[in-house]
Amino acid sequence: MPAFINWLNALIAFLRTASVTLIVIAALLMAAVWATRTRRVSPFSAIGRWSRRWIDPLLAPLDRRLARSGVAAANVPWWALLAVLVGSAATIFFVSFVRDATVGIYLGLNGGPRGLFVLAVRSTFGVLQLALLVRVVTSWIGGAYSTIGRLAFRMTEWFVGPLRRALPAFGPVDIAPMVAWLGLIVLERILTAFV
């Protein structure tokens, strides 16, 4: 099991480096597409022709989906960049979740009653954090009423709802999930520190 944990640590380090590289490349490409679509760069220039030939076909499914939602074609590259950011973060989060679960299981099985308690607490809070992440992502992409979106909502509404009512409004930005995420982290550390 320690060899698998070390492999997961190496994978996380690789994913972080690859994600930063991917995000930088995607930002440059999406900036070129945006500049072409908003006519800041001539569509007949080398950059314009290149972006229309190679990048626009990749963005076509996203263009169609977002056009139905009323998003202007000029803003689609930034939505694509957001998708790359969220996808990279979700991948790193998932692999970190697997690593933490593996470490927790290893320590729980080898740590006696205290280890089992810590395993139970970390597993519970890990599932709640995952449900919170799914809730936020599905609300962004319009999947809040899907089966997984409803499940994530039911798992998290008992602590996000009261936070939303207690926190001041920040316009269209809902900060309750962020506060709930931080609260889960603090509460988990408090529970595992005193055992």
Residue 159 confidence (pLDDT): 93
- Summarize the confidence of residues 80-102 as an average pLDDT: 89
Question: Percent of the chain at pLDDT above 70?
Answer: 99
- Has residue 128 got a pLDDT over 90? yes
- Has residue 194 got a pLDDT over 80? no
Residue 102 to residue 85: CA distance in whole angstroms: 26
Residue 16 confidence (pLDDT): 95
Averaged confidence pLDDT in the chain: 89
Q: pLDDT tens for residues 2-45?
A: 899 899 999 999 999 999 999 999 999 999 999 999 999 999 99
